[in-house]
Structure 1
């Protein structure tokens, strides 16, 4: 992959009056009264809407053992979305590298790249995306005590598999991730250098520093670590080293945002998000609650403080209010891209939220 090619794939084109490209992060939310099948159908609708309205990319996040989140298998979902879209970039936001052998990820995303050439992103995280017990169940026995310090080593191995360039003498030299670059070799012996660009995801300084050192694009989880956003982005930019992938740093931030036709409805859905997080953090995950259920929930004082703190970082309201909040956040952080994640108990409400945001920014209608 050449620097120019990688740069073109990473950097989006700003449409309408948005100051930076807008993208979508999907957790495949399963709401009360619905099923995973319903949620996955909504994801197809949302990916097609995002493509039609000019959103730049559509990522799916890996989570496990959460009844209200049906995104445990990003690669499978992305293959399904690739069959229903034509242009929008598709990717993981992210695949949790400690849960998988690097070769498996290289094979999965090589397959996706073969299905949708030139529009697949590989976002990687080092958290498990679940609780400790579930993480142990996901991993091989010899990896249960794996430390975060092993992440750079596994990232390097994954990159080698994607590029098919283990050096002579390496035990994996004769192992190839198929589909991969070797499949692109022409009769004349010219090998296609293309493979999905790697992004590093993070909610602290570790991945920011590593992304900067390797010259990779960086995605920060502002939606659940807002207090660390500016320090992490500053660290990334200050430490960035140009690479074959990027000449300059490129950082997107994940933003929780919900727009509704009426401010009151937006507030009700945001409260439901807060109650959903209370249940998750107290070991009682369930389906995403309806607003009526959330309003009836009796909060303890500690829970009330948690909900207030959590929902304070959700940009919500009418379309114009959400636009104003997103513009302020982008200006404050200097983010090169905003990736919006919206939650509601009904898929139609999520679709409407993205429609309203697109309208507020004058994104294309077809």
Structure 2
């Protein structure tokens, strides 16, 4: 089972897997929010991301994605294409991609050009994951899009997706207003005198946290990534809808579903809980209109939660797989079995880069992934 770009999917019937699975039931990947902790700078966060990507590559994780967010002091991933170019320069094998680019925030031609450039930088390693949410609050989304009509942007998502696909494939029909416009780098270069067709173009993924993108991905025969890490109640309904809606395409013969999951391992369960509470407090502040840097473990431990806040934090932590490496492995195995996911994409949100790096190493050890040099 392959995509039009030529990537062999890890669960393909040909027996080829895109990553060293060890004892993992499905391929494991990484979602990086490029988090900025209190006392650290965005430069520190980017350096940590480079180290995380190189660690993920060395340990046999399948892909490494970054996600578009805006106006959040603790998340330095407002420009996925720029980050991916930097990560591509520091890695050599692991797939890199967006999880995702928020399509309504951008002109489709711009995205096609950015990801065509990335594909030229790292041939055969780039994924283009797309979402229809703004990745921020309404006011910031309006500033990004230069329009107040945000609902129309979301409702136009299928049309925007079709336009982006045609730019990537250089396939507008004769007579279309964009027929003479070409995304470069892109296929048009192969039709120029002396041109050579690139072997790849970035494969498309649809991302979502509800049923809309699940159904659209299924109907188009595209791979689907679901944000279980912040919409756990919708995971099973969305995956069921995706599979029921799926129609085979040139991209996929069968459904392929990835789920994002928050997970953090430490040598001791208490230390894992101490670390993940920083992410929970950060999310509480975001949900109550007070976004900031990721707090330290000491700040999270000392925070005077009221009853409503404690209920929110407890519910949030209930969807974070955390503990010792063996506990995390069992939690991930259970989640993969319960959802039937074809791939798990792990995001480890904590204050410091050292805790996140150590977590991915411990999870790789728990699954027997290779410790390559």
TM-score, length-normalised on structure 2?
0.95
Structure 1 stretch displaced more, 5-14 or 160-169: 5-14
Tell me if 1:101 matches 2:85.
no
Q: Could you tell me which residue of structure 2 aligns to residue 69 of structure 1?
A: 75
1:150 aligns with 2:151: no
Counterpart among 308, 312, 315 of residue 309 in structure 1: 315
Q: Does 1:49 align with 2:55?
A: yes
Q: Which residue number corresponds to residue 303 of structure 2?
A: 297
Counterpart among 212, 215, 221 of residue 209 in structure 1 = 215
Correspondence 1:170 to 2:182: no
The whole-number CA distance in structure 2 between the counterparts of 1:2 and 1:335 is 18
Of 42, 45, 48, the residue aligned with 1:39 is 45
| SS at structure 2 position matched to 1:365 | coil
Q: Residue 6 of structure 2 corresponds to which residue in structure 1?
A: 5
State which of 270, 274, 277 in structure 2 corresponds to 1:268.
Answer: 274
Normalised by the size of structure 1, how large is the TM-score?
Answer: 0.96
1:194 CA drift (Å) = 2.6
Distance 1:185 1:19 in 2: 44
Residue 7 of structure 1 contacts residue 246 of structure 1 at CA under 8 Å; is this kept in 2?
no
Q: Is the 1:6–1:245 Cα contact (8 Å) retained in structure 2?
A: no
| C-alpha distance 213-28 of structure 1, shift in aligned 2 (>3 A) | same
- Equivalent positions of 1:310-329 (< 5 A) are 310-329=316-335
The runs of 5 or more residues in structure 2 that have no matched partner are: 13-17
RMSD of aligned Cα (Å):
1.7
| Consecutive aligned runs of 4 or more in structure 1 exceeding 6 Å deviation | none
- Deviation of 1:184 (Å): 3.7
Contact map agreement 1:9 1:119 (CA 8 A) in 2:
no
In structure 2, relative to structure 1, the CA distance for the partners of 1:342 and 1:2 (3 Å cut) is closer
Alignment of 1:181-200 (within 5 A): 181-185=187-191, 191-192=197-198, 194-200=200-206
Q: For the residues of structure 1 that align with 2:10 and 2:197, how far apart are their CA atoms?
A: 20
Match of residue 363 from structure 2: 357
Match of 1:257 among 253, 259, 263: 263
Match runs of 1:235-246 below 5 Å: 235-246=241-252
Deviation of 1:272 after TM superposition, in Å, equals 1.4
The Cα offsets for residues 5-53 of structure 1, whole Å up to 9 and x where unpaired, read as 2444896345211110000000001011111000000000000000000
Mapped partners of 2:111, 2:232: distance in 1 = 29
In the alignment, the residues of structure 1 paired with residue 226 and residue 58 of structure 2 have an alpha-carbon distance, to the nearest angstrom, of: 26
Query: In 2, Cα distance between the equivalents of 1:252 and 1:287?
Result: 28
Secondary structure of the residue that 2:133 maps to in structure 1? coil
Residue 340 of structure 2 is aligned to residue 334 of structure 1: yes
Task: Please state how far the C-alpha of 1:110 moved relative to its aligned partner.
Answer: 0.4
| Pairing 1:118–2:124 present | yes
**Aligned counterpart, 2:15:** none
3-state DSSP class of the match of 1:59? strand
User: Contact 2:73/2:291 (CA < 8 Å) preserved in 1?
Assistant: yes
Structure 1 pair 142/275, CA: closer, same or farther in 2 (3 Å)?
Answer: closer
Which residue of the partner structure matches residue 281 of structure 1? 287
Deviations 1:184-237 (A, max 9, x none): 448577644631000000001100000000000000000000011011111111
Q: In the aligned structure 1, how far is the partner of 2:282 from the partner of 2:275?
A: 10
Number of aligned residues = 366
Deviations 1:106-148 (A, max 9, x none): 0000000000000100000000000011111100337545242
> Could you say what secondary structure the match of 2:90 adopts?
coil
CA apart distance, 1:164: 0.4
Do the aligned partners of 1:259 and 1:357 also contact (CA within 8 Å) in 2?
yes
1:141 aligned to 2:147? yes
Task: Decide which of 343, 350, 354 is 1:348's aligned counterpart.
Answer: 354
